Every structure is written in C-alpha cells, then in structure tokens.
Structure 1
Amino acid sequence: MDVLFIGSSHAYNSFDPGIFENYGLKSYNWGTNQQTHIQTEMVLREYLKIFSPKLVVYEVFPEMFALEGRESMTDFLNSGEPFQLGLKEIFEYDNSIIFFNTYLIKYSRELIGLRPKPKRKVEIKDYYKGYVSKEGENKYYKDSIDIKWIPRQQQIEAFERNIAFLKRNNINYVLVISPFPFQYNNSQDYINYLNSRGELLDYNKILEFDAEKEFSDYHHINIKGAKKINTHLAPVLRKKIDELPIDELAK
C-alpha cells in the first residue's frame, strides 16, 4: 500500500482513495469518529504491519487533543474482527464501567453464537475504502466561535508515542489539518506544536474554502470541499512517494 490515512471524522470525510487512485496511489482511510491519539495508537499497533504503507497521512484536528476519547473507544470495542482489544488494554486506558459492559456484551454474544444484527448496506457513492462522503451545505455556520485549544496531557503523550512509533518503523508521515470554518483564539499554539513534530499541511491556510457551500456542518467539509483537498494533496503525496529511496519503495 502507498498511503494510510489515520485520524478522526475529519479524516474519513476528507481523504477519498478513489481520487488518489487516479494518481496511481493505493490507499485506505482508517479514520473513525472522534478518534483521539490514544485510539490512533491502537490503530497503528494493529494495522501498520498489515498495510505496510509507504506513507502515513496523520490527520490532526486540534480538538482530538482535548477529548477523553470514550466515544471512539466504544466504537472500537464494537467493531468486531479484525480489531481485537483485551481487558488489560481497556483498563489501561480507562476503567470505565461503560467499556467493561460493552466488552462483556460483545464477547458474550460471540461465545453463545449469537450473530450481530446485519449492518446497513452502504452504497459505493457514500463509502469507499474508509472514505465517507457528505452531501449538503453548512446551515449552522457561525462567523466566530470563542474557543481555546487546551490539550489533555494523555493525548499529547499518545501523539508523541505515535510519532515515535512511525519513526521506529521507518514510516514516512505527514501531518494534515483538514479545514474547519472557525479559529481557536490561540491557534498559533497548536500550529507551532505540530510544526515541531513533523511536516504540517494546514488546509486552513493552503486553500480557501466557502464556509457554507463546502462544509456539511460547522466543522466537517462536504464532498465539494473534499474534492478540493484531494485534488491538491494527491500530487503532493505522489511526489513524496516518487522521491522515496528504492528500499522504502519496496515495502
């Protein structure tokens, strides 16, 4: 595989593997709802060797540094094969009774052979290799939102471990901020931090987006905005992969 996308819903709404295929790039989007860096660590540990990507695109919506990540953890517990989590990993993260109950219900159903309810069939136009397109326009646009970026220490530590993990495994990566139509009142703090951890592509600055017509809500881009990002990002990633040493291209 050429490219693995990881991150929150901003990742799965932004990066369309179908467009990257037009540039000869094989990719998969492993974005999940409210995927904080703690869950990203689990994704990397579980899937990096399976996919063996030449390049990882790590989507870094600032809010994912501020959340606990409980919603995303519950999604992971319910995801089924091949993602497997043990009780030890769950309680190392958070000894929440919600996780314990979810774990018991899920695996009790498996033990007694009770099949899970069939999932809704999703058409290719809505979902493709992890990418979820969103139609519609932003009816909830606000000119300004007074919010400050305040990261949790456990998320900062998980993010640092993820970067170290990629480096240990000799995986090239690029950090990407998918656009959102508002600004934190201390935006430069997270920009400076991310720039210090690797190459950063900030689509709030690289391209201009219509806050109403190219977003589906107050912080997710729609299919029009996603096409704009991918049309710019695909040749950038194509060039990066073409410039990799021969031994790395053999992955």
Structure 2
Amino acid sequence: MKNFLINIGLFAGFAILFYVIVMPIWSSVMPPFMAKNVRNCMGCYGHTFTRMKDAAKTKDIDVLIVGSSHAYRGIDPRIFEKEGITAFNLGSSSQTPINTKALLHQYLDKIKPKMVLYEAYAGTLTIDGVESSLDLLSNNKIDINAINMADEIHNLLVYNTLMFLSFRQTFGLNKYFKETPKQAGDHYISPTGFVETEYRKNIFNKEDKTHWDLRENQKEELTNNINYIKSKGIEVYIIQTPITQKLYDAINNNAEVDHFLSSLGTYKSYQHALPLKDSTDFYDSNHLNQIAVEKFNPILVTDVKKLLSK
C-alpha cells in the first residue's frame, strides 16, 4: 500500500510538471483549433493591450475611469480635457468587479487620481468574469493580482490561459507585439484609454421582458472595490451610462439595481439625463455611438467637475 501511494504521488507530480511545461509550448506552436483549452486573445478586440501599456505610463490625473465597454467606449477623456480635467480610461470588455479589483490593485497607487469614475453597468454584476479575465490575462501584466483574479474566477480555461500567458511573459514573447490603432470600425485614442466607435446603423429587435440577476460575489467585490478606493482617500463616483430605452423598459428591476448602487456611495444613473434615440444614438442595445458620447459626456463632465470642486 505504501509503495502504491508513493507511485501515485510520483505520477501526479510528473503529470503536473509535464502539464505545466508542455501545455504552454503546445499552445504556442499549434493552431488555435488544436489548443482549445487555452485562449490567447492578445490584441483581439478593444485595444486592451495598448490601453494597459498607456495605463502604466499614466500618473497624477484628476479622474481614473474603470468599468466595462460602456466605460472605454462611452466616456471620452478628450471631452474632459476641454474642461481642464485630466482623465484616463481603464475600462475593458465585460469588466466585472472581480476584474476591476485586479486592475485597481495594479494601477491605482501608480496613477494616483483624485477621483475614480466607476461605471457599474448592471449587466457586469450578472456574469462570471471569465471573458474579461481572458482579455486581461492576454493583454495585461501577469502578477499576483492577476493570479488572485484567476483563482477567484475558478475556471479551467482561465487557469490554462494564466499559465500560457505567464510562460509568454517570462520568456519575453510579447515584447515586440503592437496593436493597430484601428480595428473593425474602432479607433484607439492614444494615450487616453478611450476607443472611438464609428457610427453603425443597427436594427434593434424586440427586447423580451427580463431582470438583472445580480451575483452575490460580484456585488461583494464591487463593495470591496469602492471601500478600497475610499481607503486611499480618493473620491468615488458610481454611474450607469444610458442604454436603449427599449432594453431599459424590458428590465423589471432597474429600481432595485439603483437602490443597491446608491447604497455604496455617490451614484447616478444617466438613463434619463438627456434625450437619446434608440435608432440614432446607439450602435447596439446597450452601447452609445460616438454621436451620443458627445451628447452625454458634457453632462457627465459637469457633474464630475462639481464633485471635484468640493
């Protein structure tokens, strides 16, 4: 029995070592369809790779913006700059509070903003964070915060991607990678973190009645993130950007979400802050196009300016 347990232990150790060494090499040389358990999405969409490079060079600004694609596509630091406010957009696709936590611990002390503008789209409180984790692991630095993020997400694809990208980072395989500033109608505005989206005409289908099913772990991490920011003596302004009225009307618990977010601190939903048309101001059911960004942001900047002057 003793020899059997020893052999099992030796085999397990060999298997783990084999997996840790061979899996990254296999994923590096094989086409994606032969390495489906790893997701390397470096430069795939959203300009996350370039945004994180710019974040590492940003410091001593007025406003740091965090949140989902509603943030990096909907909040334009150039409009803030016109009012004398320096801002950087650290949003990323489907960024949940678990993902935001890693970014805050990586960059907040270095950037040292006076305020964090926290875009807290309710949809990001209903998902597991896998998509955003794969995006950030592929395009951001791997450190203890990234490892903690992967551990909290607790997903095999995320773990595999963490190992693969750690391998690439360790051996400097990402050193010469560069994103193109324009991708499929998106234009990255360096060094602001903002992605300008070209006007897209969309036909919106009927929205079925639904509700926001908020995950308790995401709610908890959102609360923790806000407390962490405040612990640094930094103002936090929590917002939701507008979505199409058709989608908004289809959701039956918007008031519940507003109540939760307002309990965390200074909060405002901009859903009814300005007149917008579903047919001309959105490129899908929940993202503003650039036309609407330029209508919405001056109102947002006015509110931010008041909070900064307190």
Query: How high is the TM-score relative to the length of structure 2?
Result: 0.73
Q: Would you say 1:108 and 2:167 are equivalent positions?
A: yes
Contact 1:134–1:223 (8 Å) recurs in 2: yes
Distance 2:172 2:101 in 1: 31
Q: What residue identity is the alignment partner of 1:149?
A: W
CA distance in 1, matches of 2:166, 2:207: 45
1-side partners of 2:263 and 2:129: how far apart?
A: 24
- Paired residues of 1:138 and 1:214 also in contact (CA < 8 A): no
CA shift in 2, pair 1:110/1:236, >3 Å: closer
Q: Give the 3-state SS of the residue equivalent to 1:205 in structure 2.
A: coil
CA distance, structure 2, for counterparts of residue 52 and residue 116 of structure 1 = 27
- Match runs of 1:89-128 below 5 Å: 89-115=148-174, 118-122=177-181, 126-128=187-189
- The number of equivalent residue pairs is 242
Distance of 2:151 and 2:167 partners within structure 1: 22
Question: Max radius of gyration: which structure?
Answer: 2
The equivalences for 1:165-244 within 5 A come to 165-181=228-244, 182-183=247-248, 184-243=251-310
Q: For 1:146, what is the secondary structure of its paired residue?
A: coil
Alignment pair present for 1:155 and 2:215 = no
What's the CA shift for 1:118? 2.9
Work out whether 1:48 is the aligned partner of 2:75. no
Structure 1 position 116, deviation (Å): 6.1
CA distance in structure 2 between the aligned counterparts of 1:80 and 1:144, rounded to whole angstroms: 35
Shift of 1:64: 0.6
Letter in 2 for 1:212: S
More helix by share: 2
The one-letter code of the counterpart of 1:191 is D
> Residue 99 of structure 2 contacts residue 149 of structure 2 at CA under 8 Å; is this kept in 1?
no
Separation in 1 of the partners of 2:234 and 2:146?
29
Aligned residue number for residue 32 of structure 1 = 92
When structure 1 is superposed on structure 2, of 140-149 and 189-198 the one drifting more is 140-149
Deviation per residue, 1:173-204 (Å, 9 max, x gap):
11111111112111111011112212222111
Instruction: Find 2:121's aligned residue among 61, 66, 69.
Output: 61
Distance change (3 Å), C-alpha of 1:92 and 1:115: closer
Runs of 4+ off more than 6 Å: none
Tell me the CA shift for residue 101 of structure 1: 1.7
- In 1, Cα distance between the equivalents of 2:200 and 2:302? 27
The residue aligned with 2:203 is: 140
Structure 2 contact 126–212 (Cα < 8 Å) conserved:
yes
Paired with 2:84 and 2:76, the residues of 1 have a C-alpha distance of 13
Q: Is the 8 A contact 2:77 2:89 kept in 1?
A: yes
Q: How far apart are the structure 2 equivalents of 1:163 and 1:115?
A: 32
Structure 1 alignment gaps of length 5 or more: 244-251
Aligned partners of 2:85, 2:137: CA distance in 1, in Å? 31
Q: Name the stretch that deviates more: 58-67 or 84-93.
A: 84-93
Partner of 2:23: none
Which residue is equivalent to 2:43?
none
Q: Larger relative CO (CA 8 A, sep 6+): 1 or 2?
A: 1
Cα deviation digits, residues 133-162 of structure 1 (max 9, x gap): 112244132454311111011101101101
Aligned-residue offset at 1:61: 0.8
Structure 2 spans left out of the alignment, 5+ residues: 1-60
Give the aligned partner of residue 84 of structure 1: 143
Establish whether residue 3 from structure 1 lines up as the match of residue 63 from structure 2.
yes
Alpha-carbon distance change, 3 to 148 in structure 1, aligned in 2, over 3 angstroms? same
- The Cα of 1:241 is off from its aligned counterpart by 1.5
